[in-house]
Chains A and B, each alone.
Chain A
Amino acid sequence: GQNIDQPTEMTATEGAIVQINCTYQTSGFNGLFWYQQHAGEAPTFLSYNVLDGLEEKGRFSSFLSRSKGYSYLLLKELQMKDSASYLCAVIDSNYQLIWGAGTKLIIKP
Chain B
Amino acid sequence: GAVVSQHPSWVICKSGTSVKIECRSLDFQATTMFWYRQFPKQSLMLMATSNEGSKATYEQGVEKDKFLINHASLTLSTLTVTSAHPEDSSFYICSARAIGLAGSFLYEQYFGPGTRLTVT
Contact = CB atoms under 8 A, between A and B. Distances in A.
Interface string B79-120: 000000000000101010000000001111111111010000
Interface of B: 34, 42-44, 46, 49, 91, 93, 95, 105-114, 116
A48 interface: yes
Contact of A41 (B42, B106, B113): B113
Contact of B93 (A42, A50, A96, A100): A42
Interface extent on A, as a size class?
20 to 34
B71 to A, nearest CB: 17
B114 A41 contact: yes
Nearest to A6: B43
Task: Kindly list the 9 A-B residue pairs having the minimum CB-CB distance in the complex, ordered from nearest.
Answer: A42-B111, A101-B43, A48-B105, A42-B114, A102-B43, A42-B93, A91-B107, A99-B44, A42-B113
Most buried by A among B46, B106, B107, B110: B107
A42 B34 CA distance: 13
Q: Mostly helix, strand, loop or mixed at chain A's interface?
A: loop
6 contacts: A33-B108, A40-B116, A42-B95, A44-B111, A87-B44, A95-B107
Interface of A: 30-31, 33, 40-45, 48, 50, 87, 91, 95-97, 99-102
A100 B43 contact: yes
A101 B114 CA distance: 18
Contacts of A43: 44, 93, 111
